[in-house]
Amino acid sequence: MTARAFIIAIESYDHLPTLTGLNADANQFYDWLVNTKKLRPDSIFGCADKKACPWATTGTTADEITIELARLWRKVLEWTDARDATEELFFYYSGHGFANTKSLAEKPVDHLVASDFKDS
């Protein structure tokens, strides 16, 4: 079985209240992926505070998250063991978010909020 993971943990924001405990929770999730699910560290992509989460591969701004998602996509296409073989993809997000609609008749769309978020 081939598995991949993408982790986003954002405690500190430029313009929103700070959240607590998210990095610790993300560290526990990372440990579970490596120790229980036996994922290779190079198959885990992480956007988090690198001081609090040493496994993080990048930071938590919108650009950093977008670039890291693109990097995951490229890796999946390039890895010979990954192409059409990723049976599980774990996605972990912990941070601020919101949902909005254009009208009351529409289903709300959920949005994750990057650390450099200013307004909707």
**67 DSSP assignment:** H
Can you tell me which residue has the tokens 């990097």? Answer: 71
> Model pTM?
0.86
pLDDT band at 1 (very low <50, low <70, confident <90, very high): low
Q: How far is CA 2 from CA 26, 32, 33, 49, 68, in A?
A: 21, 16, 12, 27, 20
pLDDT at residue 70, rounded to an integer: 93
Is the pLDDT at 81 greater than 60? The verdict is no
pLDDT at residue 94, rounded to an integer: 96
